[in-house]
Amino acid sequence: MHTAGVREFVAAVGAHAPAPGGGAASAVAAALAAALAEMAGRYTVGHGSGTLSFSEVVSRAEFLRERALLLADEDSHAYESYVAIRRQTVSDPARQREDRARAAEVAAAVPSELASLALEVAGLGERLIETGNPHLRSDACAAVLLSAAVAGSAAVLVAENLSADRGDERIAEARRCARMAAEAASRVAAALGLIEEGGSR
Which band of pLDDT confidence, cut at 50, 70 and 90, is reported for residue 1?
A: low
**Considering its fold, how many domains does the chain have in total?**
1
Cα–chain center distance at 48:
27
For residues 129 and 81, the model is more confident at 129
pTM for the structure as a whole: 0.86
Contacts of 128 (CB under 8 A, 6+ apart): 37, 40, 41, 44, 54, 57, 136, 137, 140, 143
**What's the pLDDT at 102?**
76
2 in a structural domain? no
What are the strands, taking DSSP E only, across the chain?
A: none
Examine the pLDDT at 40 and tell me if it is beyond 90: yes
Mean pLDDT of the chain: 87
pLDDT tens-place string over residues 138-191: 999 999 999 999 999 999 999 998 886 778 899 999 999 999 999 999 999 988
pLDDT tens-place string over residues 90-122: 677 777 677 777 777 778 899 999 999 999 999
201 in a structural domain? no
8 in a structural domain? no
91 in a structural domain? yes
What is the distance between the alpha carbons of residues 30 and 53, in angstroms, rounded to a whole number? 22
Q: Are 146 and 15 in contact (CB under 8 A)?
A: no
Examine the pLDDT at 199 and tell me if it is beyond 50: no
Examine the pLDDT at 200 and tell me if it is beyond 50: no
112 in a structural domain? yes
12 in a structural domain? no
Q: What percent of the chain has pLDDT over 70?
A: 89
- Mean pLDDT to the nearest integer, 18-35: 94
**What's the pLDDT at 167?**
81
**What's the pLDDT at 152?**
98
175 in a structural domain? yes
What is the distance between the alpha carbons of residues 193 and 201, in angstroms, rounded to a whole number? 9
Which band of pLDDT confidence, cut at 50, 70 and 90, is reported for residue 80?
A: confident
* Nearest CA-CA partner of 68 in 107, 119, 34: 34
160 in a structural domain? yes
Examine the pLDDT at 65 and tell me if it is beyond 50: yes
- Mean pLDDT to the nearest integer, 36-50: 82
**What's the pLDDT at 49?**
52
CATH number for the domain including 125? 1.20.120.680
Domain limits for position 54: 19-191
